[in-house]
A and B are shown apart, each in its own frame.
Chain A
């Protein structure tokens, strides 16, 4: 059963019970009050008769005759009955000797009259009886008149009282049905209205469960449902964020794998193609040397790629112990190797280092510096120069590698940290790399909680900065 149906049903049940009980109580109280009043009236009328009888008792004493008594009492009774002028009043007077002294009953006195047993003198008892269609109030009193026991039974028809009650009940049933219908109608709309936000949330939850993670509940109320809805929305936002992050991660991984496949298969295709060609065809000397050259260079490319991949795998281990070290010491140690690398293109490497200790993994920092210097050398013209600096900048230590080489176009600048991204793929000079250098650098920087920044102007040079002690995302920009 639905929640709104429950609200509706239970409140209707409660209403019906309370409303009916209250109404019945009111009707019954009303009825019993009226009845009590009638009983009181009847009893006092009864007393009136008795006092009338009392008034004639001295006369009766004088005559002391049964017949006379009967006549007198009958007169009193008939006067009384006539005076009241009400046909629904009956009076019966009996005594032990003569039986009925007076009676205007139009029905047979019931045989069983429990009110008579144990009735003492001057005591008045009353009882209600259903006789035929009528309900009658019997008031009975035993009185000694002139030393004889008389029983006075005064009877009042109270059928109308009961008819009135039935009438009230009939009216009540009509009112009850009307009220209940009205209540049901009102409760239907109220409970639907109250549970509408719940339906809304259920629908939203279902959409989210089916993958619509950006779905939200539009509910602005301040009650508990509003709070629930806003909490629900918060939860959905967190879930959506996580899912997006996972998807991004996943697609990044997929792209990485695709790129690895591409980068592995391209040199392999050349190597297999050329070696097969040399193996199967009649080649001339030039083709032979050409082929060997391609096989050699493509194999070297594969070697470089495998080294880089090993570096990357090493970086993904996530368990580096950073020990305090000095950038200046690392740079000093690397200087000969860098100078050697630069000698081919007669490039001058300028190193200046200051700055204090940093938590670092020296091997990783060497990979970082070497990759950055390597990129700078590749970008530089023959006989150019690159500059490697370490310096303090406020609270952070900056490692900066700059060249005055070809630079990077703005549209490429924001993507250079992506794995396998190469600014110009068709350029043969970039063939030596796999496009992994900067991505490796970024991973190393992340391990050191350092940010990376690239600033470049086309055909004027590039500056890459690694900012230690500032755990930020990589930034990029173009120098004016």
Chain B
């Protein structure tokens, strides 16, 4: 079942772009442009996570946070302020994480995933077309039959599935699969992509994006 995220953000453009990114990543979304509608949405809907802007009309983010906390719904704060006190305030009130505007969609998705994993709301099975991946068993199947993948190939496949329809750069792949302190060449990524394409028969699905990197496409 798709996970449901509430976006409480007064700026309609920002709210919309967040929604678009979340939808691409396979989340269901709800939007609220002020604190009071946000509170209503929190009370009614079955939510897995709330993205909460600190400066919203009606009921400000911190006040809304206090109402959300008893419900046990994870919250990520969005704030334009870089002030430490603001972050501390947000976290002290029970927010699980915060993002300072402007932020990149990839990073927001990663934080959302981390928070959901902490709450045990992570999806254990990822599927794309005829490929199924079980994160628990670290197994991938193509049309029901297991595919033999190296550990790095498996990790790379997971990153691709989690960011499907979003292009990632070779550096981002390196960072997410091999870790931030890996000083390998970006060619390593190319080789693993090539191998995945071959093993999963994904020549068309893993697109090479000019000047950027790769993208998993439907």
Identify the A interface with B (CB < 8 A).
258, 261-262, 265-266, 268-274, 276-277, 279-282, 287, 294, 298, 425-426, 428
For B14, the chain A residues whose CB sits under 8 A away are: 266, 269-270, 273
CA A279 – CA B217 in complex, angstroms?
Answer: 14
CA A272 – CA B100 in complex, angstroms?
Answer: 13
Dominant secondary structure of chain B at its interface with chain A? loop
Nearest CB on A from B34, distance (A): 6
> 10 A-B residue contacts at CB 8 Å?
A265-B102, A268-B101, A269-B80, A269-B102, A270-B17, A271-B102, A272-B104, A273-B105, A280-B168, A425-B57
Q: Lowest 7 A-B CB distances belong to which pairs?
A: A273-B17, A265-B80, A269-B102, A270-B13, A280-B167, A262-B80, A269-B101
Asked if A279 contacts B212 (CB within 8 A), the reply is: yes
Identify the B interface with A (CB < 8 A).
10-14, 16-18, 20-21, 24, 33-34, 55, 57, 80-83, 101-105, 165-168, 209, 212, 215, 217
Nearest CB to that of B217 among chain A residues?
A282
Nearest CB on A from B10, distance (A): 6
Nearest CB on B from A374, distance (A): 22
CA A239 – CA B80 in complex, angstroms?
Answer: 36
Nearest CB to that of B168 among chain A residues?
A280
Nearest CB on A from B163, distance (A): 9
Q: Contacts A269-B17, A281-B167 given; 15 further ones with Cβ under 8 A? A: A261-B80, A261-B82, A262-B81, A265-B80, A270-B11, A273-B13, A273-B18, A274-B13, A276-B105, A277-B21, A280-B167, A280-B168, A280-B215, A294-B13, A426-B57
CA A273 – CA B24 in complex, angstroms?
Answer: 14
Choose among B80, B81, B82, B212 the residue that contacts A280 (Cβ–Cβ < 8 A): B212
CA A271 – CA B17 in complex, angstroms?
Answer: 10
Asked if B80 contacts A266 (CB within 8 A), the reply is: yes
For A294, the chain B residues whose CB sits under 8 A away are: 13, 16-17
Q: A261-B80, A282-B215, A287-B20 are in contact. Are A426 and B33 (CB under 8 A)?
A: yes
CA A409 – CA B16 in complex, angstroms?
Answer: 30
For B20, the chain A residues whose CB sits under 8 A away are: 277, 287
For B16, the chain A residues whose CB sits under 8 A away are: 294
For B104, the chain A residues whose CB sits under 8 A away are: 272, 276
Nearest CB to that of A270 among chain B residues?
B13
CA A356 – CA B101 in complex, angstroms?
Answer: 51
For B165, the chain A residues whose CB sits under 8 A away are: 281-282
CA A270 – CA B105 in complex, angstroms?
Answer: 11
